Amino acid sequence: MLDRGKFQRFPDITGDDADDTRLLREMAEEARRYITSHSWCPPQKDLFLACGVGGVIALFLVDFTEKIGGSPDDSLWLVVGDLPSAYFVTENATNPRAALETYCYLMDDWITAVLDKGDLDEVYPVEAEPSEQNARELESRLMFLRAEIIPAIS
> CA 92, CA 14: separation in Å to the nearest integer?
28
Q: How does pLDDT run across 100-135, given as a tens digit for each residue?
A: 999 999 999 999 999 999 999 999 999 999 999 999
Q: How does pLDDT run across 11-70, given as a tens digit for each residue?
A: 999 999 999 999 999 999 999 999 999 988 888 899 999 999 999 999 999 999 888 877
In the chain, the number of structural domains is 1
64: containing domain = 4-152
